[in-house]
């Protein structure tokens, strides 16, 4: 399952971050890396980007990029 | 008195700016880091017998050197070797905030960890075993609540203690056997081949940073041996770890953090719905989100324009009084060039610009309120989808909004965009967001040519036209010169906070001061130059002998008529009019005469000069400027179509010199500045041409 498939209030664990190098590195800096737990909050009013919670703080990611992150629903 | 240099590091939204303001009070100095355009804030804090020079580093999440801010922070820490680095951490969001702290531990600098916003973490039921955590992280921890000034004394005391002792963190981050081995291999070669470089950077740290994919440092390596080893090591780690080395390093850092946190942090209550979540449920709601966003934007404009009316009136009266006072220093009815220079040139020019200070202050007040509450990043979140459709992204929204205030800080605000293409597109279209300096032009023309009932709509229409053109231009640029993917949108959505009065005021004053400085320097100089251009050369031989004719005239009307004719001849003879006439053939097709052309030359230097310049051109052509305002004169001379054309042309055409200068500086090339200047001017001409000819065809507002 991919992060982009999740809907609000779902929780998941990151299995693999398959984004391109610079983004993968930036996400790792922000705490979104293999093994991290993610909570999905409601998307932006126009349906994109996603509103995510990692390590207890909130941030945004577009669905286009979330498509490359493999997760396991908790 | 002993002096120490203290660097303030921290994540964005960690409350670093508040701590900086608390420590330095009014003793701040804003400059730039050498050679780059990253803002450098410094301030002095006196404590006991010490003078602490506090340097506020740019807020970053990491020191990975993926942005200019990160490179600047890293270089500052290495080059200057501050006596103490204070890391400001949001204690309610500790793990991610510690990630930056770990990178500072790696750099072996004397460190203090400031657990800021500890009221928020307490409210969330987070309990720290500070003594143990401090031991595990190898640095003293101070708790603080920046917005309530709490913990500041303890912080200063600790700063002095650490600075005197020069105690560096004695902890070691474990990167695991594979990484450690490769770091060792690279560092050995560095010691052998890069002797100059390792005088500057510690070899082991440099080796680790090279593996961490720090491209900026990689560029500094000249030795082929080192580069070959780096390549080899990278392959080994990728094979063993199954990921890029920098991800492996990030994993190890987070491993270290969670190890330290697990032993020392207790969450006593389960996480419940927080106020921030509730606010988000409303303001980013699928149905309510956009209406609320639009309403807030509307409110911002209402607030800015309605509240600024009264203080602007006071300023106007003040400058009127000042002009009268200076005139009264000369005998009545005497003609003095100095008097004219002071009254018409200096007060007319600079005063006309300073009148808009209340407006600008209120706009920046609204913008800082949105930033400090945390709504600004929600606005970017809400707008991202739309912005990507036109080739921009959510973060471009903030510079675009700031553009309504002034293009200069707006273009500087594009620094938050990491991708160069995104940044350049945003920078190039920002001037289309009608800045407050263009406002005097609208405020002068709209009441003169339109009925009160439709004035707000005309004003709104002009602003909308700017936004519309910005969208079109961004779209065209994205699909022509700047082809390519839009960069990922990874942005923190900080929790909502009550802004502090102090923080908002400092932010607002800083930005407004930039505007006042511009009025005091560039605009003063331009006003004087323009006054000279529109005064000299003085015509001495006229077509008729006006002086005698005026004396002989029997009634007042004839007298005025003759005086007007004389002044008209005087004005036509000046340099400004000659230049205006020179460009008349070019601007005639868009409905402008040489008088407007003369004023446009002024506007070319700074938008707000247009009004002053028009005043100078016209006041000399009119006998009785006290009883007849500029508006009436304009109304007699032009139809409302020309008024619209002036506004449209000023909206789009070449932004002021300061904007072009900032674009050149921020883009790093004069070519982008020239592109912006020429592109916008050509577009202004085309759009105005369309407006004028369509208007003429239907005979709208021609009278």
Q: Is the pLDDT of residue B662 over 80?
A: no
Q: Which whole number is the average pLDDT over B369-379?
A: 88
* B125 plus B255 within the same structural domain: no
Strand, helix or coil for residue B252: helix
* B161 plus B188 within the same structural domain: no
pTM for the complete prediction? 0.80
Give how far Cα A50 sits from Cα of A47, B225, B385, Å. 8, 45, 11
* B152 plus B198 within the same structural domain: no
User: Which range of residues forms the domain containing residue B183?
Assistant: 177-267
> Of the ranges B157-161, B230-234, B440-444, B677-681, which one carries the lowest mean pLDDT score?
B440-444
Tokens of B120: 């928020």
- CA angle, residues B309, B313, B318, in degrees to nearest 5: 150
Domain assignment present for B452: no
Domain assignment present for B356: no
Domain assignment present for B51: yes
Q: Is the pLDDT of residue B647 over 90?
A: yes
* B234 plus B134 within the same structural domain: no
Q: Is the pLDDT of residue B433 over 60?
A: yes
Spatial distance between the Cα atoms of A10 and A40, rounded to a whole number of angstroms: 5
Give how far Cα B286 sits from Cα of A10, B298, B301, B445, B610, Å. 18, 20, 24, 41, 44
Q: Tens digit of pLDDT for each residue in B299-325?
A: 887 787 788 888 888 988 898 899 889
pLDDT of residue B641: 92
Q: Which whole number is the average pLDDT over B653-667?
A: 79
Q: Is the pLDDT of residue B182 over 70?
A: yes
| Class in CATH terms, A3-73 | mainly beta
Strand, helix or coil for residue A11: strand
Q: Which member of A42, A45, A55 has the closest CB to residue B95?
A: A55
* B160 plus B198 within the same structural domain: no
Q: Which member of B99, B286, B491 has the closest CB to residue A29?
A: B99
Q: Tens digit of pLDDT for each residue in B319-332?
A: 889 988 988 888 87
Question: What is the total count of domains within chain B?
Answer: 3
Instruction: Count Cβ neighbours within 10 Å for each residue of B579-616 and write b for 16 or more, e otherwise.
Output: bbeeebeebeebbbebbbbbbbbbbbbbbbbbbbbbbb
Which ipTM value was assigned to this complex?
0.95
Measured in angstroms, the CA of A14 and the nearest CA of chain B are apart by 13
SS3 content of chain B, % helix, strand, coil (to 5): 65, 10, 25
Is the Cβ pair B284, A51 closer than 8 Å?
A: yes
Is the Cβ pair B247, A45 closer than 8 Å?
A: no
pLDDT of residue B632: 80
- A62: nearest CA in chain B? B489
Domain boundary among B213, B247, B267: B267
Please list every residue in chain A whose beta carbon sits closer than 8 Å to the beta carbon of residue B492. Answer: 30, 57-59
* B238 plus B110 within the same structural domain: no
Residue in this structure with the two tokens 């996480």, named with its chain if needed: B271
- A24: nearest CA in chain B? B247
Q: Where are the alpha helices (DSSP H) in B271-288?
A: 275-283
Domain assignment present for B477: no
pLDDT of residue B412: 75
Is the Cβ pair A33, B244 closer than 8 Å?
A: no
Residues 6+ apart with CB under 8 A from B506: B21
Please list every residue in chain A whose beta carbon sits closer than 8 Å to the beta carbon of residue B495. Answer: 58
CATH code, domain with B260: 1.10.287.1770
Domain boundary among B236, B267, B298: B267
* B181 plus B160 within the same structural domain: no
Q: Percent of chain B scored above 90 by pLDDT?
A: 34
Spatial distance between the Cα atoms of B51 and B212, rounded to a whole number of angstroms: 37
Q: Where are the alpha helices (DSSP H) in B81-219?
A: 94-106, 118-123, 130-137, 152-165, 177-193, 197-200, 203-211, 215-218
* B625 plus B558 within the same structural domain: yes
Q: Tens digit of pLDDT for each residue in B513-541?
A: 877 776 677 777 877 887 788 778 887 77
Q: Is the pLDDT of residue B435 over 50?
A: yes
Q: Which of B464-468, B561-565, B571-575 has the highest mean pLDDT?
A: B464-468
Domain assignment present for B156: yes
Q: Which of B63-72, B326-335, B678-687 has the highest mean pLDDT?
A: B678-687
Closest CA to B674 of B688, B659, B685, B687: B659
Q: How confident is the model at residue B623 (pLDDT cuts 50, 70, 90)?
A: very low
Q: How confident is the model at residue B349 (pLDDT cuts 50, 70, 90)?
A: confident
Residues 6+ apart with CB under 8 A from B52: B3, B4, B5, B6, B23, B44, B45, B46, B156, B159, B160
Q: Tens digit of pLDDT for each residue in B211-255?
A: 999 888 888 888 899 999 999 999 999 998 888 999 999 999 999
User: Taking the alpha carbons of B600, B606, B612, B613 in that order, is the dihedral positive or negative?
Assistant: negative
Give how far Cα A36 sits from Cα of B203, B222, B369, B491, B624, Å. 32, 38, 34, 18, 76
Q: Is the pLDDT of residue B178 over 80?
A: yes
* B147 plus B189 within the same structural domain: no
Residues 6+ apart with CB under 8 A from B318: none
Q: Which whole number is the average pLDDT over B261-286?
A: 83
Q: Which whole number is the average pLDDT over B476-497?
A: 85
Domain assignment present for B367: no
* B72 plus B129 within the same structural domain: yes
Domain boundary among B245, B267, B289: B267
Q: How confident is the model at residue B134 (pLDDT cuts 50, 70, 90)?
A: very high
Write out B292-354 in H/E/C secondary structure. HHHHHHHHHHHHHHHHHHHHHHHHHHHHHHHHHHHHCCCCCCCCCHHHHHHHHHHHHHHHHHH
Q: Which whole number is the average pLDDT over B656-670?
A: 80
Computed on alpha carbons and rounded to an integer, the radius of gyration of chain B in Å comes to 31
pLDDT of residue B316: 83
Domain assignment present for B171: no
Computed on alpha carbons and rounded to an integer, the radius of gyration of chain A in Å comes to 11
Average pLDDT of the residues of chain B: 85
Tokens of B220: 């500094």
Please list every residue in chain A whose beta carbon sits closer than 8 Å to the beta carbon of residue B251. Answer: 28, 33-34
On whether any CB of chain B is under 8 Å from the CB of A9, the answer is: no
* B184 plus B115 within the same structural domain: no
Is the Cβ pair A27, B490 closer than 8 Å?
A: yes
pLDDT of residue B620: 44
* B623 plus B521 within the same structural domain: yes
Q: How confident is the model at residue B605 (pLDDT cuts 50, 70, 90)?
A: low
pLDDT of residue B628: 45
Please list every residue in chain A whose beta carbon sits closer than 8 Å to the beta carbon of residue B284. Answer: 42, 44-45, 51
Q: Tens digit of pLDDT for each residue in B76-118?
A: 998 888 999 999 999 988 999 999 999 999 998 999 999 999 9
Q: How confident is the model at residue B703 (pLDDT cuts 50, 70, 90)?
A: low
Domain assignment present for B702: no
Comparison of pLDDT for B410 and B473, the residue scoring more:
B473
Q: Tens digit of pLDDT for each residue in B265-277?
A: 887 766 656 788 8
Spatial distance between the Cα atoms of B653 and B259, rounded to a whole number of angstroms: 58
């Amino acid at each position: 399952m991919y992060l982009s498939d999740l809907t609000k209030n779902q929780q998941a664990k990151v299995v693999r971050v398959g984004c391109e190098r610079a983004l993968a590195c930036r996400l790792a800096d922000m705490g979104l890396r293999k093994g991290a737990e993610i909570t999905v909050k409601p998307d932006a009013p126009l349906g994109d980007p996603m509103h995510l919670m990692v390590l207890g703080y909130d941030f945004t990611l577009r669905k286009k990029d979330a498509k490359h992150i493999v997760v396991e629903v908790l | 008195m002993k002096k120490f240099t203290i660097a303030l590091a921290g994540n964005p939204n960690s409350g670093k700016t508040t701590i900086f303001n608390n420590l330095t009070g009014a003793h701040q100095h804003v400059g730039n880091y050498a050679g780059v355009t990253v803002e450098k804030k410094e301030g002095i804090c006196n404590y006991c017998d010490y003078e602490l020079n506090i340097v506020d580093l740019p807020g970053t999440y990491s020191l990975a050197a993926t942005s200019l801010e990160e490179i600047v922070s890293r270089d500052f820490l290495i080059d200057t070797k501050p006596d103490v680095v204070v890391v400001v951490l949001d204690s309610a969001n500790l793990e991610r905030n510690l990630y930056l702290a770990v990178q500072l531990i790696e750099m072996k600098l004397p460190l203090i960890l400031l657990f800021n916003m500890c009221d928020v973490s307490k409210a969330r039921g987070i309990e720290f075993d500070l003594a143990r955590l401090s031991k595990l992280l190898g640095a003293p921890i101070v708790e603080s609540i920046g917005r309530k000034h709490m913990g500041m004394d303890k912080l200063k005391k600790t700063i002095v203690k650490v600075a005197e002792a020069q105690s560096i963190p004695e902890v070691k981050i474990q990167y695991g056997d594979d990484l450690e081995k490769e770091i060792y291999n690279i560092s050995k070669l560095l010691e052998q081949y890069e002797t100059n470089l390792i005088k500057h950077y510690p070899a082991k740290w440099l080796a680790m940073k090279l593996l961490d994919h720090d491209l900026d440092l990689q560029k500094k390596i000249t030795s082929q041996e080192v580069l070959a080893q780096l390549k080899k090591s990278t392959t080994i780690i990728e094979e063993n770890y199954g990921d890029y080395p920098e991800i492996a390093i990030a994993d190890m850092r987070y491993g270290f953090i969670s190890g330290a946190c697990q032993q020392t942090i207790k969450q006593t209550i389960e996480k419940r719905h927080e106020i921030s979540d509730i606010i988000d449920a409303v303001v980013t709601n699928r149905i309510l989100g956009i209406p609320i966003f639009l309403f807030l934007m509307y409110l911002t404009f209402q607030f800015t324009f309605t509240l600024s009316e009264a203080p602007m009136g006071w300023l106007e009266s003040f400058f009127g009084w000042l002009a009268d006072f200076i005139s009264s220093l000369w005998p009545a009815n005497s003609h003095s060039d100095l008097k004219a220079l002071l009254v018409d040139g200096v007060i007319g020019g600079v005063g006309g610009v300073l009148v808009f200070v209340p407006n600008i202050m209120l706009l920046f007040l609204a913008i800082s309120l949105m930033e400090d509450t945390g709504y600004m990043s929600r606005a970017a979140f809400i707008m991202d989808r739309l912005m990507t459709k036109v080739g921009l992204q959510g973060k471009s929204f903030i510079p675009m909004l700031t553009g309504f205030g002034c293009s200069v800080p707006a273009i500087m605000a594009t620094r938050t965009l990491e991708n160069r293409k995104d940044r350049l597109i945003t920078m190039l279209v920002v001037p289309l967001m009608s800045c407050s300096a263009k406002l005097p032009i609208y405020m002068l023309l709209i009441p003169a040519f339109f009925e009160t009932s439709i004035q707000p709509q005309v004003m709104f229409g002009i602003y909308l036209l700017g936004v519309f053109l910005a969208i079109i231009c961004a779209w065209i640029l994205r699909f022509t010169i700047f082809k390519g993917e839009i960069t990922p949108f990874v942005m923190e959505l900080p929790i909502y906070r009550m802004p502090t009065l102090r923080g908002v005021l400092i932010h607002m004053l800083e930005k407004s001061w930039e505007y006042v400085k511009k009025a005091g320097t560039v605009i003063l100089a331009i006003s004087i130059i323009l006054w000279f251009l529109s005064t000299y050369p003085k015509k001495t031989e006229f077509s008729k002998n006006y002086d005698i004719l005026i004396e002989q005239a029997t009634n007042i009307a004839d007298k005025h008529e003759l005086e007007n004719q004389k002044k008209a001849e005087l004005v036509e003879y000046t340099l400004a009019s000659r230049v205006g006439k020179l460009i008349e053939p070019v601007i005639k097709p868009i409905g402008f005469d040489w008088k407007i052309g003369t004023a446009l030359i002024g506007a070319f230097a700074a938008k707000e000069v247009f009004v002053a310049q028009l005043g100078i051109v016209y006041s000399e052509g009119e006998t009785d400027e006290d009883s007849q305002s500029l508006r009436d004169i304009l109304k007699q001379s032009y139809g409302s179509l020309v008024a619209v054309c002036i506004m449209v042309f000023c909206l789009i055409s070449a932004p002021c010199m300061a904007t072009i200068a900032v674009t050149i500086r921020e883009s790093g090339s004069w070519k982008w500045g020239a592109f912006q200047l020429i592109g916008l001017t050509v577009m202004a001409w085309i759009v105005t041409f369309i407006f004028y000819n369509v208007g003429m065809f239907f005979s709208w507002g021609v009278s």
